[in-house]
Chains A and B, each alone.
Chain A
Amino acid sequence: MTKSILIINRAGPYADGRAKAALDMALSAAVFEQQVMLLYTGDAVFQLVQNQQADLIHRKSPSAALSALPLYGVEKVYVDQAALISRGLEEQALAVEAEILNSNEMSNLLESADVAFAL
């Protein structure tokens, strides 16, 4: 049986372990052939910014795992438009192909998911 699983990312890439935990959940669900959707809101939009030099703070940038998403069949990546704008980020700054959603579209996304987890 396949379900649609929405993982809502809210945390910046290096604040704590949430960015990695969310990606681990997304990749696991994809391995078990579930329909995975990722939404980035709040500071989590910083996870998507390209060319991060995480090694300078002895951390791992999310970029490698993010670039693996299509290989795992995770193609539905969504970004909160308001979160991008309020942080002065342009779509071109993002390391992955993502669909930008306004608040109505985010409501519809949440409604469409069978299961949702916010990290």
Chain B
Amino acid sequence: MKFSLVVFAAPDGDPATLTALKFAQAVLDQGHEIYRLFFYQRGVYHGSSLAVYPQDETDINQAWQSFIAEQQLDAVVCIASAVKRGILNAEEANRYERPSANLADNFTLSGLGQWVDACVHSDRVVSFGEAQ
């Protein structure tokens, strides 16, 4: 079965981010496919390469980023949600004349069209965390 995940949860403080990651791992372990991960609203903070966690806390950004890289997943960060929260790739940093870009490797900035496409092409779309 093809799954897509929509992550509304922020990486810090919302347990739904870990639930989403465990769910995604279980989907693949069970032999299913992940069509796309779509990070929306505060979920876009998962795409930051600048988050620094205290040593005694799980670096959830790193955990997601490693998982996405290892599994070669399509990880889309909603561009409208991202730029207003300061998550920029080089192209957007240049466009809005900001001093730097911070989107982590293997993430793509794109629009809600990618969410619609995921709904159309997945057998199941599961969302995690409360939207805000």
Listed in ascending order, the chain A residues whose CB lies under 8 Å from chain B are 1-3, 5, 11, 16-18, 21-22, 24-25, 28-29, 31-32, 34, 114-115, 117-119
Contact = CB atoms under 8 A, between A and B. Distances in A.
Contact of A1 (B41, B120, B127, B132): B120
- Chain B interface size range: 10 to 19
Interface of B: 6, 40-41, 80, 111-113, 115-117, 119-121, 125, 127, 131-132
Contact of A24 (B6, B112, B119, B121): B112
A21 B131 contact: yes
A115 B131 contact: no
B131 A3 contact: no
Q: What are the nearest 4 A-B pairs in CB distance?
A: A28-B112, A119-B131, A32-B116, A16-B132
27 contacts: A1-B120, A1-B121, A2-B120, A3-B119, A5-B116, A5-B119, A11-B131, A17-B41, A17-B131, A18-B131, A18-B132, A21-B40, A21-B131, A24-B80, A25-B112, A25-B115, A28-B112, A29-B116, A29-B119, A31-B116, A32-B113, A32-B116, A34-B120, A114-B119, A115-B119, A115-B125, A119-B131
A63 B116 CA distance: 24
Contacts of A2: 120
